[in-house]
Chains A and B, each alone.
Chain A
Amino acid sequence: DTEVTQTPKHLVMGMTNKKSLKCEQHMGHRAMYWYKQKAKKPPELMFVYSYEKLSINESVPSRFSPECPNSSLLNLHLHALQPEDSALYLCASSQPYVGVGRELFFGEGSRLTVL
């Protein structure tokens, strides 16, 4: 199984809503990532979890709250988002210390629209 599964595929929410994005992998990877991708732009790193501990937070606003309940699951909790937060949110996983033979695997993404 070389898949990273993300749910939901599409999400529309109002600025006062609370929602969550979910990500799951069963490749035994111990590093998991959240990226944000706007149209025609590269993925931008938001958070990195390594061995279930938050290791990188790229100064992301607190309205985005990550959670790693176990080594296979990664959540992104969303609250009080702004319309400019509309984007494709990509989850990825890898072995720790990315490199040749330890590539990043991306999920298909959750497309978020904030009204």
Chain B
Amino acid sequence: GENVEQHPSTLSVQEGDSAVIKCTYSDSASNYFPWYKQELGKRPQLIIDIRSNVGEKKDQRIAVTLNKTAKHFSLHITETQPEDSAVYFCAAFDEKLTFGTGTRLTIIP
């Protein structure tokens, strides 16, 4: 089955700086890679997603890059704000969605 590794497990950045979270996956058949944000006590919510035939996708301050050959994908958040503080999960989909272990992002005002 699919195995998704995510790093780092915790990340603290100064407000206004950029944050990068990296994931690797094992199953070359995985074809869809979403990122979820989960605030404390809340549901996971999709923030951005990418298909395997696309290398990069951007939505305002958030971007995702995918290297299919190397089987890794990354989340980039620019100009971070306090409301970006949350746990972020990457995931890979091949018949079912497998989540990474999560990154707790803290934005320091």
Point out residues on A near B: beta carbons under 8 Å.
40-45, 48, 56, 90, 98-100, 103-104, 106-109
> In the complex, which residue of chain B has the Cβ closest to the Cβ of A4?
B43
Contact A90 to B43, CB < 8 A, known contacts A42-B101, A45-B97: yes
Contact A104 to B97, CB < 8 A, known contacts A90-B44, A109-B43: yes
Chain B binding surface SS class? strand
- Contact indicator A103/B42 (Cβ below 8 Å): no
Point out residues on B near A: beta carbons under 8 Å.
31-32, 34, 42-46, 49-51, 89, 93, 95-102
> Which one of B32, B50, B102 lies within 8 Å of A42 (CB-CB)?
B102
> In the complex, which residue of chain B has the Cβ closest to the Cβ of A94?
B97
> In the complex, which residue of chain A has the Cβ closest to the Cβ of B31?
A99
Q: How far is the CB of A53 from chain B (nearest CB, A)?
A: 15
